[in-house]
Amino acid sequence: MGVIVTGTAVLAALLAGAALTYGLERLFVQHGREPGPAHDVEFNRNLHIANSDRWLLPAGPVVAVAGVALAVVVVPFGPGLIGRDLGIGLFYVIVVIDFVVLGLALAGWGADTPDTVEACYRIIAQLVAYVVPLGLAYVGVIMMARSLSTISVVNAQSALWFVVLQPIGFVLYLVTGLMQSYRAPFLEPFAGSIGGGVLGVSGGWSALLWRVALSGVFFLVAAIGAVLYLGGPSGPVLPGWLWMLVKTYALMALMLGLGRCVRPLSTAQMLALSWKFLIPLGLVNVLLVGGLILLGIGP
Amino acid sequence: MDSSPKISVSPVVTDYGFVALVLVMTCGLALLAAGRFLRAPQRQIDISPVWAQFRFGYGIYALIFLAFDMEMIFMYPWAVVFADIGISAFLDMLVFIVLLGAGIAYAWGMGGLKWE
């Protein structure tokens, strides 16, 4: 029975986190600005598209929610409050969180409308842009923590947070995290000009699942960011889960606030930014962190 | 199961068994959501089909991405053992990163890094 309870707790954490994320995000939506994944959806009516694919379209939201839920398994919410401390934790997160992209691409192509097929292409271009610099931001942390396990990463920061030791990696994570969660300024796949992309052809149960998946992915990006750079649930006086909550949503508010300061980028601009600037920066960051470790700085 | 200490199961099996359980429970959650909206009214959209061959603007990016994604994954095991090995691991990775940097510079110089 123990595993069932833990599994339920993991899903409950995802749902609560996604709900809080959506609430915070609505606070940042300004009039006249694109809401991106916080786009309005129709909850009270199902949608039928005459020529949509029978299996691909409904598979999309299920695959996306599954990816997000699987990633929550390794997020430490406090001492002992973790689904499973997998040995390959951070690598596992990178792999399963990309199922959101697969789900969006499946639904986009499966719906077979001009807007969603366009959204499918944009989603995949966004994956090509963010995965490598995001992975390089993780590498710096793994080098200092000497482990892929999320618990070890938190313990390695007991003396000093990695945001102090690796400021370049943190900036890299902020930018690629916004790309990964499709938040402004990287919301091209959910742009109003293509009717909100996949969200435009969701309704009823699929709208509900998309809301969970798209809020959940931002929640995860912020929670993993707090684990990687802000020491996760560790902190004085207050209980661990409260520290984790504060750090996650403070990081999320920072990302939303910074994202609103920049004009939305087109997919082509985003690819150029990633490959001409972020990836070289990520490689330099790996070398810098290596140099710091050789000098004996860090845990 | 955690509650049966007599049978010794590899932690890999229990860990990923739990991951599989979460996957199954998520599918159950999706079914619950679908069931909840079973009798909801329907909205119909009729748009002519658009499935066709598309020309996509990021072909070269996608090709370089395949190489760099693999490269990034090679870095993970290296990053875990880096601090224990020290300077020789650093020099190895320096060579690797110089080669990769040369790869990006070449692709950029040949005009690969642009939307077509």
Structure tokens at A241: 């889960």
How close, in Å, is residue B26 to chain A by CA atoms? 6
Q: Where residue B102 falls among pLDDT bands split at 50, 70, 90?
A: very high
Residues of chain A falling short of pLDDT 50: none
User: In chain A, which residue's Cα lies nearest the Cα of B79?
Assistant: A143
Whether B100 and A279 have beta carbons less than 8 Å apart is answered as no
Nearest to B116 by CA among B56, B55, B65, B57: B57
Could you count the other beta carbons within 10 Å of the beta carbon of residue A222?
Answer: 26
Instruction: Output the CA angle A23-A90-A167, nearest 5 degrees.
Output: 75
**Cβ neighbours of A106 in B, within 8 Å:** none
**CA distance linking residue A139 with residue B60, whole number of Å:** 25
Ordered by start, the domain boundaries in chain A are 1-295
CA atoms within 13 A on the CB side of A85: 14
The CATH number given to B56-110 is 1.20.58.1610
How close, in Å, is residue A191 to chain B by CA atoms? 18
**CA distance linking residue A170 with residue A229, whole number of Å:** 7
Query: Smallest Cβ distance to B23: which of A44, A66, A291?
Result: A66
Flag if B21 and A3 touch (Cβ within 8 Å).
Answer: yes
Give the number of residues written for chain A.
299
- B5 pLDDT more than 60: no
pLDDT tens by residue, A226-255? 999 999 899 888 999 999 999 999 999 999
**Cβ neighbours of A86 in B, within 8 Å:** 15, 19
pLDDT score, position B4: 53
Query: Smallest Cβ distance to B43: which of A45, A136, A140?
Result: A45
Structure tokens at A221: 């990006």
Whether A62 and A209 have beta carbons less than 8 Å apart is answered as yes
**Cβ neighbours of B101 in A, within 8 Å:** 280, 283
Average pLDDT rounded to a whole number, residues B87-96: 92
Flag if B2 and A203 touch (Cβ within 8 Å).
Answer: no
Which of B11 and B31 is assigned the larger pLDDT?
B31
Beta-bridge partner residues of B43: A47
pLDDT tens by residue, A195-236? 888 998 888 899 999 999 999 999 999 999 999 999 989 988
Instruction: Work out the percent of chain B whose per-residue pLDDT is above 90.
Output: 45
pLDDT score, position A269: 93
Strands (E), B28-67: 42-45
Give the number of residues written for chain B.
116
Cα-based distances in Å from A1 to A113, A212, B20: 45, 26, 15
Q: With b meaning 16 or more CB within 10 Å and e meaning fewer, what string describes A211-220?
A: bbbbbbbbbb
Run of H or E including A128? helix A114-145
Question: What is the reported pTM?
Answer: 0.94
Strands (E), chain A: 46-49
Backbone angles phi, psi at A203, to 5 degrees: -165, 145
Cα-based distances in Å from B50 to A52, A115, A126, B47: 10, 10, 22, 9
**CA distance linking residue A53 with residue B13, whole number of Å:** 36
pLDDT score, position B2: 53
**CA distance linking residue A227 with residue A229, whole number of Å:** 6
**Cβ neighbours of A73 in B, within 8 Å:** 18-19, 22
Query: Smallest Cβ distance to A131: which of B27, B69, B94?
Result: B69
Cβ within 8 Å of B, A 62-121: 62, 65-66, 69-70, 73, 83-84, 86-87, 91, 109, 112-114, 117, 121
Best B9, B24, B29, B38 member to test A by mutation, with max A CBs in 10 Å, is B29
pLDDT score, position A203: 85
Question: Is residue A280 less than 8 Å (CB to CB) from chain B?
Answer: yes
Question: Is residue A209 less than 8 Å (CB to CB) from chain B?
Answer: yes
**CA distance linking residue A39 with residue A35, whole number of Å:** 5
Beta-bridge partner residues of A203: A42
